[in-house]
Amino acid sequence: MPAISADAGRIIGRCHANCGASARPGRRSRHTRSRQARRHSDLEYFPSARTRVLDRNTAIGGTACGRANQRSLKTHLAHSRRFIITLGLLTAIAALTVDLSLPAIPAMVDALNTSLSHAQQIVGIFMLGMSVGQIPSGLASDRFGRLPTIYAGMGLFVTAACVAAIANDIEVLLAARFVQGIGAASAIVISRAVVRDIATGKDAARLMSLMTMIFTAAPVIAPSIGALLVAHWNWRAPFIVIAASGFALLFAVRSNLEETHTPDASQHPLRQLSFSFREFFSHRQSVFGLLLLIVAPAGHMSVIAVSAALTVGIYGYSITQYGMIFACAGLSILAGSITNRWLIVRYDVVQLVTLGVALIFTSSAQLVIIAWLDSAPFWWVWSCVCLYMFAIAILMPNTTVLALDPLPRIAGVASSIIGTTQNVLGASGAILGALIYNGTIRNTVIIMATTGTVTACVFLLRPLIVSELKLHQREELARN
């Protein structure tokens, strides 16, 4: 048992005294409401940086008093800025890895003696690695805890990033990006699982929106930074920065995150994984959320993969201008996250999902027209892309909350199921977008136009999938 400080000991002592008193049968409480409030505040003890109730890697659980302390700790974490910022940075590491490397693609073609289509696969291969790594990461986090899994995953990410930075062959670079994606998968899975560990309903949607706002910084600034790095040094500079960012994030995890899940390794891994899959797909609400979540990413990843070729090759903008143009898409995600955070306190999650789907369909309908014409001014094409990104920032956090809400005990595997399917289709969209790119506007936007339309169709089929969408309330979770 980790050492407990004197202050924490007194708090836990009071908690045990209160629990013991409340457990005595046949006695009516003599406390007034105000005194009960004071007793409740005793339970909501927020330890300082030097004083912790338990070791940072040990989740509290077991007894009623332990569960009371755990709820208090989770409430504290849900409002801790450093904790939330670190979760947002974990979510952003994948976007940073993709967006920072995009400006290096044209220079990489000559340096590694490869084709543009082959070089553009660094996006899809990375996403494919993330798809492969998420199920193992989710299962490991449920069995061994969130923190050990994130340490192992980010360590793998940093190692592969260093290999990518020194690669002299496109095949070695692509292999390193695949392994890098496997490591980054743990960051995506665990950040979502941790949110489900500490919050639900609108609180979870609020946290998801805050994380999305932090995540937005990557597509806003990363392409511009990548373009400057390539212009002043060479194509390797962005990959070196990616490796350094991984090191920095490991230190942030060590300093700011706490364990939020009580590990359960009682079952055989395959049996536990099989049970988790059956549990996930037995909830129609989770299935409906999954269907909404997996289609839209294929569209925006297809445009991201060929965005440099679209902007520089078709419309003739410079690499520096490309960074600024791409930042507009990132700002659209930021605007959508801010809007979602404002709306979440005024409307329910289902209404915001409806809004997100409607905006995605508005964007994709215009892109269908552009694909049919095979000609359009750049402002029209890119405004449709930005609207799609804006809608993604509203749709994704709320739909993720819907999908994870019924599954608190298997949040790690549930998050990995969502992430894996998202990234399989996202990687497929990116690779397919790079393969079908032929210098025309039609082939550049056709995948985004299709996925937006499919997302709208899935939403319209909701009555056939799930009869009612319901979110657990905090009091109900406490009773459970």
- What does 397-458 look like in DSSP terms, one character per residue? HHHHHHHHTT-GGGHHHHHHHHHHHHHHHHHHHHHHHHHH--S-HHHHHHHHHHHHHHHHHH
User: Tens of pLDDT along the chain (480 residues)?
Assistant: 444 444 444 444 444 444 444 444 444 444 444 444 433 333 333 333 433 333 444 444 444 444 444 455 454 454 567 878 888 888 888 888 888 888 888 888 888 888 777 887 888 788 788 878 888 888 888 888 888 888 999 999 999 999 988 888 888 999 999 999 999 888 888 887 888 777 766 677 777 777 777 766 666 677 778 888 888 888 888 889 999 988 898 888 888 887 777 777 677 788 888 888 888 888 888 889 888 888 888 888 888 878 888 888 888 888 778 878 877 887 888 888 888 888 888 888 888 999 999 999 999 999 999 999 988 899 999 999 999 999 988 998 888 888 888 877 777 788 788 878 887 787 788 778 888 888 888 888 899 999 999 999 999 998 888 877 766 544 444 333
Domain count, the chain: 1
Cα 322 from chain centroid? 26
**202 within 8 A of 424, measured Cβ to Cβ:** no
For residue 353, give both structure tokens: 């999902």
What is the DSSP code (8-state) at residue 307? Answer: H
Q: Is residue 54 part of a domain?
A: no
Q: Hey, which bits of 351-439 come out as E strands?
A: none
List the CATH number of the domain containing 248: 1.20.1250.20
The pLDDT of residue 51: 34
Spatial separation of the C-alpha atoms in residues 235 and 246, rounded to whole Å = 19
Determine the 3-state secondary structure of 276 from DSSP.
helix
Half-sphere exposure of 383 (CA within 13 A, CB side): 9
Residues contacting 343, CB < 8 A, separation 6+: 352, 355, 394
The pLDDT of residue 202: 67
Domain span including residue 212: 81-470
Q: Is residue 324 part of a domain?
A: yes
The pLDDT of residue 324: 81
Q: Is residue 67 part of a domain?
A: no
Spatial separation of the C-alpha atoms in residues 397 and 374, rounded to whole Å = 33
Q: Is residue 92 part of a domain?
A: yes
pTM above 0.75, yes or no: no
Burial grade of 251 (CB within 10 A; 0-12, 13-18, 19 or more)? exposed
Q: Is residue 73 part of a domain?
A: no
Q: Is residue 330 part of a domain?
A: yes
Indicate the residue type of 186.
S
Spatial separation of the C-alpha atoms in residues 146 and 154, rounded to whole Å = 12
Q: What is the CA radius of gyration of the chain?
A: 24
Spatial separation of the C-alpha atoms in residues 445 and 424, rounded to whole Å = 19
Q: Is residue 193 part of a domain?
A: yes
Half-sphere exposure of 275 (CA within 13 A, CB side): 14
The pLDDT of residue 217: 67
Q: Is residue 39 part of a domain?
A: no
